[in-house]
Amino acid sequence: MQLLISSASPFVRKARVLIREAGLMDTVDEVIVSTSAFNSAPEVIAANPMGKIPALIRADGPAIYDSRVITRFLNDLAGANLYPQSSIWEILTLEATADAIMDATVSMAYETRLRPADQQSPDWIEAQWAKAARGIAAINSRWMSHLTGPLNIGQIAVACALSYIDLRHDARGWRNGNEALAHWHAEFSTRDSMVATKPE
């Protein structure tokens, strides 16, 4: 199998961390592609008509996407139990919250990095950050208990979302007022899977 990737994407990183935690490095080849929101690479469009990454190309079936589908598929393939049935709805909600933070902060990055300055909308950027900030605060106040114990996809997703903010929006200071989450993230970021997938 081939996973189409770009190292800066938090959605890609979530899949890459899972691959390492689930012991699938010999099963999935990571293929770096040069693609953007304005100019999707042909190989990405061939795998995902939306032109987004990650996309997982399989030998025995059509390519699958998006990141939540890929991580669930790979988890089942490896029998990794990163979607524990005993708390599945909470874990899925935590993953969805992290993915929403990724959506908002990637949108912010697109606005500032891909659009000319005179076409950028400060109101749009601030609205997206407000969404991300609410998500971060909710995790810090409601979900910390699900970030402890055996590894699960919620933990991976949250770590990748926060690390992306550090990469693209560090000046926002997300740690202020979210000290418990900040402490957790500092520890989680030392995992081998996180170190190995840190964007260049």
Sites in the chain below the pLDDT cut of 70: none
> Residue 157: which of 9, 8, 13 has the closest Cα?
13
Q: What is the per-residue pLDDT for 115?
A: 87
pLDDT of residue 182: 98
pLDDT tens digits, 46-63: 999 999 999 999 999 999
Would the CATH topology of 2-78 be identical to that of 85-196?
Answer: no
pLDDT score, position 38: 82
pLDDT of residue 36: 81
User: What is residue 13's predicted lDDT score, i.e. its pLDDT?
Assistant: 98
Calculate the alpha carbon distances from 80 to 72, 73, 106 in Å: 10, 11, 28
* Cα 100 from Cα 200, distance rounded (Å): 23
- Distance in angstroms (rounded) separating the CA atoms of residues 124 and 107: 9
Q: Are β-strands 29-32 and 55-57 bridged in parallel, bridged antiparallel, or unpaired?
A: unpaired
Contact 99, 54 (CB under 8 A): no
- Provide the pLDDT for residue 200: 79
CATH classification of 85-196, choosing from 1.20.1050.10, 1.10.10.10, 1.10.10.60, 3.40.1160.10?
A: 1.20.1050.10
The pLDDT value given to residue 37: 82
- Predicted local confidence at residue 35, as pLDDT: 87
Q: What is the pLDDT, as a whole number, of residue 126?
A: 97
Q: Does domain 2-78 have CATH number 3.40.30.10?
A: yes
The H or E element containing residue 3 is strand 2-5
101, 135 Cβ separation under 8 angstroms: yes
Sheet holding 55-57, edge to edge: 29-32, 2-5, 55-57
Domain range list for the chain: 2-78, 85-196
What pLDDT, on the 0 to 100 scale, is given for residue 158? 98
Which token pair is 109?
């990055």
